[in-house]
Chain A
Amino acid sequence: MPKRDDIRSILVIGSGPIVIGQACEFDYSGTQACRVLRAEGFRVILVNSNPATIMTDPEFADATYVEPITPEFVEKIIAKERPDALLPTLGGQTALNTAVALHEAGVLERYDVELIGADFDAIQAGENREKFKEIVAKVAAEKGLNADSARSVICHTMEECLAAVDVLGYPLVVRPSFTMGGLGSGFAYDEDDLRRIAGAGLDASPTTEVLLEESILGWKEYELEVMRDKADNVVIVCSIENIDPMGVHTGDSVTVAPALTLTDREYQNMRDVAIAVIREVGVDTGGCNIQFAIDPRTGRMIVIEMNPRVSRSSALASKATGFPIAKIAAKLAIGYTLDEIPNDITKETPASFEPTLDYIVVKVPRFAFEKFRGADQTLTTHMKSVGEAMAIGRSFPEALQKALRSLEKKGSSFSWTGHVAPKGELLDDCRTPHDGRLRTMQQAIRAGATPEELFEATNVDPWFIDQLFLIDEQARAVAAAPQLSLEVLATAKHHGFSDAQIGEIRGMDESRVRDLRHALGLRPVYNTVDTCAAEFAAKTPYLYSTYDEETEVPYGDRPKVIILGSGPNRIGQGIEFDYACVHASFELSRAGFETVMVNCNPETVSTDYDTSDRLYFEPLTLEDVLEVVHAEQQTGPVAGVIVQLGGQTPLGLAQALKDAGVPVVGTSPESIHLAEERGAFGRVLAEAGLPAPKHGTALTVGEALAIAEEIGYPVLVRPSYVLGGAGMAIVYDDETLTTYMAAQEGGHPVLVDKFLDEAIEIDVDALFDGEELYLGGVMEHIEEAGIHSGDSACALPPITLGGADIKRIREATLGIARGVGVRGLLNVQYAMSAGVLYVLEANPRASRTVPFVSKATAVPLAKACARVMMGATIASLREEGMLPAEGDGGTLPLDASIAVKEAVLPFNRFRGVDTVLGPEMRSTGEVMGIDEFFGIAYAKSQAGAYGELPTKGRAFVSVANRDKRSMIFPVRALADLGFEILATEGTAEVLRRNGVHAKIVRKQSDGAGPDGEPTIVQRILDGEVDLIVNTPFGSPGQSGPRLDGYDIRTAAVLRGIPCITTVQGLAAAAAGIQAIVRGDVGVRSLQEHARSLRG
């Protein structure tokens, strides 16, 4: 059946900001979908509030709306664009929920918009657990299949939950309905657990509904990715097996594809059930995934759930198999059937087949617990990881070891040196699922644990446990070998050992192992991900390394550029860097280079085999990158390797690559060092005549106190060896400084900087070709200095800086770019305090803000950067039209729209963690709001990040003394808008004295009043407050006001109430609320925006 011709325009909904459980895999799927739909001739309208995505690049849609994904805003877009159809299955749960809301509100009917890719009955049937259970029971009975559901009870109130315990007993699982990433779910072992988890779950569920069910902890867990077309053709794209048994969210589990511990009978039963269920549910034009649990003792199979949309797992499955699920799903949605769609990889065979793998894929999660002190680190059914890495090998040990080293985290790989804890202790640790449990198991093997003991402690399938023993035996063989012969090395490499691991075991330097290996002629080969286990010749070069017989790297005729990606997403290094890499690849391919991408993050657009001329799915370690470069050099000239766009990961390899003779292009490793090393950078600043905050370096408490004495409090302290703000703190007094220093590891220097209180922080992205500076954009932070730039909201163009300020910023940036020797992008952070422009730091690489700046100014900075790195000048790019003919991001017209970037923080995932912002970055993603007026742009950013700002109701205000003066005006604005103002005593007094009526509420530390008057925390928990303003004061560890604030903010997160923690944020919010109340909030596409900026 060919493409539908009765629809011409399609609205695609993206997934919004990167959050835990919904990351850039939806940029990957959405980008694929938009490309397909446009190529098929449809007018594509896109809404996604996340500016860091590729899909929101103006060239991927006809009309791109970076607007909040709320029913209200999407309705405005529908009213304006009048699309014929809405495709909601590629933007995660956010898109699906928004589509359901639009349907229920009658919007789709009113504007005659057809839902494609899914229908409401299917969404309901898939997501309503009771209906789903009935479906499972029905297909099991009708087809005689082994399929069941966990015994369960649906509850809408806590009373119902407590009653259900009589039927199910403890432990039991709590699952809220209609939430993503397992949000709000968990195991309850007793009534306290149940009250806590089910209470939060009832709140988190949009339908106030939770499901309680029998525990299947420790069962084997599987997932199938399924596609079905309207002619009822069904294929299973991939099977995925979780190494961590039931009890750990799939997103937090180490997973493997294909499933490795099923016989054909069991697998086919699972396949039959999946197909019967998808038919019964009625998903008829797209993809979905279905999860299963199998009792390892009896084989009883439970169907856990299905998602009638593409998912994180489908992104993984696409990368694991080479079968592009999102792309095919988009084609099915517009009417094609599977047999009409060719398999891109073979070109010869159709998409109506099931990929078969002759390799093993392992996915490992990456966590960021170090950023969330106080968070529970136990892995549960509630997803906590912030990213993932995938690796491919020809055997499980090879793939697993590659995956572990792809995490780029110290201690993630298996190790055989150093102290081993006692076996009993390690086995005990293994009982609780945690980040790095496989390594704990490996250490337990070192300590003498048996396979049976490990199985008893973990319920990990004995086959996987044996593979850990196999790896351990290989390590011992490496240790015991009289010398590193070819045979010893080849066997170790066959099992995935890195040069570094072999070196560690042998007490040798990694580079010596590599030299020896190369001298013996032992190098990896590169095999193709071909969907068919070599049955047909593959046309799409998607490669992975393995120690096997034949390499399949094709010969090229154009000069090659190798782009190093950014590895697994983590806090501080996410989708923004992938964006820059993808842009470089697109642009350099257009400019005549053969582009080669190296990355190991399965969620990204960069690891789509369509993005670059060639993709290597490889860890970003020195060894793996050197081998890729070597392989590419064997098949044609390599013009350059780009390390500047993938964030800190490739940047960290720059010097070593250069030392190994690799042509690193762009800013030289020596220049990178100039910017990163404090002393050298100080000299650059001195030469350029630029001030930096006073600072010093301390090794001891005494030295730190002396420096603080000299430069004056407050001071910003941080360990010198970490990046991304880890371990940073702002300290106001000797006592806290002493505590901070005492907590540091001995011997590591601590940097002590003067902290510029009440400064305006400014972020600049600029491009430098050696001669000319192109100021990409100047961003003014809304929060004052001291909050990590990644967590701070910012406005572009800057809202309070004048032409003279911009001029100074331009001159300073030029001075730094020249002094450092930048060729490409440069990011500088400034603080403006008392009229002085201080340089805080400079990073000679693409920054997190590049996509935001590119969208706000309608200039493709990353593309321009790639060209500059390969030798183009800014003047020539201006001539080409890539950069504006004149002017730059510092000379935007005064009437230019204002773009506000807001950070999105994962506090709802880490209950108990203080939500107050600080110098350490903790946000996972960002949104953009754009409008002619700052207030509206800010309100849009809030709506995109946290849900819309309230326009009426109760506002609670409690601020630190230093903020009291600046709070008065915005709070009065709120009162004028009709908000009832609640305040703690001190704040209320100041407000009253300034003519704002504020009602006093009891602090948490006061406890309930004599007549049972509730505290503010109780009132928040009871849902009586609509907006919270709470700026923190006092020092960590103290009781009193600080602790009160903590309780307030925690309650706000629990209830999902907007909570503003800076007074600047309050002012912006008040302006935004005013704008919303005035009711003149419109929507405008990026294409319209670009026309207004660039004519």
Chain B
Amino acid sequence: MSNAVLVLEDGRVFRGTPYGAEGETFGEMVFNTGMTGYQETLTDPSYHRQIVAMTAPHIGNTGVNDEDPESSKVWVAGYVVREPSRVVSNWRANRSLDTYLKEQGVVGIAIQGTRALTRHLRERGAMRAGIFSDPSESVEALVEKVRQAPQMTGAELATEVSAAEPYVVEAIGEKRFTVAAIDLGIKGMTPQRMAERGCEVHVLPATATFEQITAVAPDGVFFSNGPGDPATADVSVLQQVLAAKIPFFGICFGNQIFGRALGLGTYKLRYGHRGVNQPVQDRRTGKVEISAHNHGFAVEAPLDRTFETPYGDAEVSHVNLNDDCVEGLRLLDGTAFSVQYHPEAAAGPHDAAYLFDEFCEVMSRAQA
């Protein structure tokens, strides 16, 4: 049974047992440090083309339910755990994680050395990997196969995960705003958080043009999270939105596109932030929020001063206290802002939910 292998592109091999679907899979090897929320993580489109290793040892204990997925499918390219649960224990669960992964055709592996893997990635940086449930080739051959897999740097993936057709998430209660949300890999909780605040959310495909956006007469435009290298993204649509002074809010990939639209650069982090315990400071108030992260790229921006952009002066609004990474940007006139992390949480703490309120305030000011 213990013939499955996880092979990294630098030749390191972890042996284990197959979990979920069997076969072979490739992707960028990343680790996630969240102790809860595997179902949300698996269904987060930002994990497209990534093999995710969970640092928490016991995974699957609460099974799978119908309420918690963040999208209609599992997006991870592969899944690495230590101690898969043999039973399901939760009043909301209706099947096991193992069954779910099999249904979704997601190849996984259970290995002992998830911590060794994490330390390896921490020291060497993110890299490509492959999971092979029952390989017949030599390890050398498998490493070679992994090296043939596409790199994350330079990958344009948003269009692969985006909704093909627009759809609308109705406001809950009284409708106050119309939001055009560009789906670059949007998580289900994001329009939900807006809808709870009276937003009717028009989710548009990643390829939406400025005209298609204005066609829904939005009070605000939102750019979602999503996978891939932000350097590949087309920022012209967002630039048109900013030029038109339509209120803007972006999350994660949306933050990176905002940065690039403002003329800033983006870069790949050595091993990224993936977890639900990252301290982010709101530099305007000094308050620290514990936040959910999932990003391998970040924006380069000056931390010590405001800076000029074609759309007015801007500043870094949020910073990660662990590594001083840029976690949020805003135009000083308050019409556009974005964060690198996940205020919609799911999985993760709800400390940053106030950002949705701020978006509503910006739209409200613009309406007035």
Known contacts: A264-B68, A339-B321, A354-B277. The answer to whether A271 contacts B82 by CB under 8 A is no
Q: Smallest CB-CB separation from B321: which chain A residue? A: A350
Query: B65 at the A/B interface (Cβ < 8 Å)?
Result: yes
Contact A348 B279 (CB under 8 A): no
Contact B349 A271 (CB under 8 A): yes
CA distance A258 to B82 in the complex (A): 16
Contact A263 B57 (CB under 8 A): no
CA distance A316 to B37 in the complex (A): 24
Known contacts: A350-B321, A534-B119, A549-B113. The answer to whether A261 contacts B61 by CB under 8 A is yes
Q: What are the residues of chain A within 8 A of B348 when measuring CB–CB?
A: 264, 268
Inter-chain pairs besides A263-B37, A265-B67, A535-B55, 4 sampled, C-beta below 8 Å: A260-B58, A263-B39, A349-B322, A356-B33
Q: Smallest CB-CB separation from B56: which chain A residue? A: A358
Among A353, A395, A494: residue with most chain B CB under 10 A: A353
Q: What are the residues of chain A within 8 A of B118 when measuring CB–CB?
A: 358, 533-535
Query: B112 at the A/B interface (Cβ < 8 Å)?
Result: yes
Q: What are the residues of chain A within 8 A of B114 when measuring CB–CB?
A: 358
Q: What are the residues of chain A within 8 A of B62 when measuring CB–CB?
A: 261-263
Indicate which residue in B56, B116, B287 contacts A357 across the interface (CB closer than 8 Å): B56
CA distance A235 to B118 in the complex (A): 24
Q: Smallest CB-CB separation from A393: which chain B residue? A: B57
Q: Top 6 A-B pairs ranked by shortest CB distance?
A: A264-B37, A549-B113, A533-B55, A264-B347, A264-B36, A463-B89
Query: A589 at the A/B interface (Cβ < 8 Å)?
Result: no
Contact A299 B92 (CB under 8 A): yes
Q: What are the residues of chain A within 8 A of B33 when measuring CB–CB?
A: 356, 358, 532-533, 535
Q: Smallest CB-CB separation from A299: which chain B residue? A: B91
CA distance A396 to B122 in the complex (A): 25
* Interface 1/0 per residue, B32-63 and A, CB below 8 Å: 01111101100000000000000111100110
Main secondary structure, interface of A, reads: loop
Query: A385 at the A/B interface (Cβ < 8 Å)?
Result: no
Query: A298 at the A/B interface (Cβ < 8 Å)?
Result: yes
Q: Can you name 27 A-B pairs with beta carbons within 8 Å?
A: A231-B288, A261-B61, A263-B68, A264-B34, A265-B68, A268-B36, A296-B91, A348-B322, A348-B323, A350-B321, A352-B279, A353-B322, A356-B276, A357-B35, A359-B57, A360-B57, A462-B89, A463-B85, A463-B89, A532-B33, A533-B56, A533-B118, A534-B115, A535-B122, A537-B122, A549-B14, A549-B112
Contact A353 B112 (CB under 8 A): no
* Interface 1/0 per residue, A672-703 and B, CB below 8 Å: 00000000000000000000000000000000
Chain B 291-311 residues near chain A, CB threshold 8 A: none
B332 CB, min distance to chain A CBs, angstroms: 24
CA distance A532 to B279 in the complex (A): 12
Measured CB to CB, the residues of B under 8 A from A are 14, 31, 33-37, 39-40, 55-58, 61-62, 65, 67-68, 82-83, 85-87, 89-92, 112-116, 118-119, 122, 275-279, 281, 286-288, 290, 321-323, 345-351
Q: What are the residues of chain B within 8 A of A263 when measuring CB–CB?
A: 36-37, 39, 62, 65, 68, 90, 92
Chain A 354-407 residues near chain B, CB threshold 8 A: 354-360, 394-396
Contact B89 A261 (CB under 8 A): yes
Q: What are the residues of chain B within 8 A of A548 when measuring CB–CB?
A: 112-113, 115-116
Q: How many residues of A contact B (CB 8 A)?
A: 58
Q: What are the residues of chain B within 8 A of A233 when measuring CB–CB?
A: 287-288
B172 CB, min distance to chain A CBs, angstroms: 11
Measured CB to CB, the residues of A under 8 A from B are 231-236, 239, 258, 260-265, 267-268, 271-272, 296-299, 337-339, 348-350, 352-360, 394-396, 451, 461-463, 466, 470, 494, 527, 532-537, 547-550
CA distance A537 to B278 in the complex (A): 16
Indicate which residue in B35, B36, B56, B116 contacts A550 across the interface (CB closer than 8 Å): B116
Q: What are the residues of chain B within 8 A of A461 when measuring CB–CB?
A: 89
Contact A339 B91 (CB under 8 A): no
Q: What are the residues of chain B within 8 A of A339 when measuring CB–CB?
A: 279, 281, 286, 288, 321
Contact B82 A466 (CB under 8 A): no
B225 CB, min distance to chain A CBs, angstroms: 17
Q: What are the residues of chain A within 8 A of B349 when measuring CB–CB?
A: 268, 271, 354
Contact B36 A466 (CB under 8 A): no
Q: Smallest CB-CB separation from A349: which chain B residue? A: B322
Indicate which residue in B31, B55, B85, B278 contacts A353 across the interface (CB closer than 8 Å): B278
CA distance A396 to B34 in the complex (A): 17
Contact B279 A349 (CB under 8 A): yes
Q: Smallest CB-CB separation from A532: which chain B residue? A: B33
CA distance A521 to B255 in the complex (A): 51
Contact B65 A550 (CB under 8 A): no
Q: What are the residues of chain B within 8 A of A356 when measuring CB–CB?
A: 33-35, 55-56, 275-277
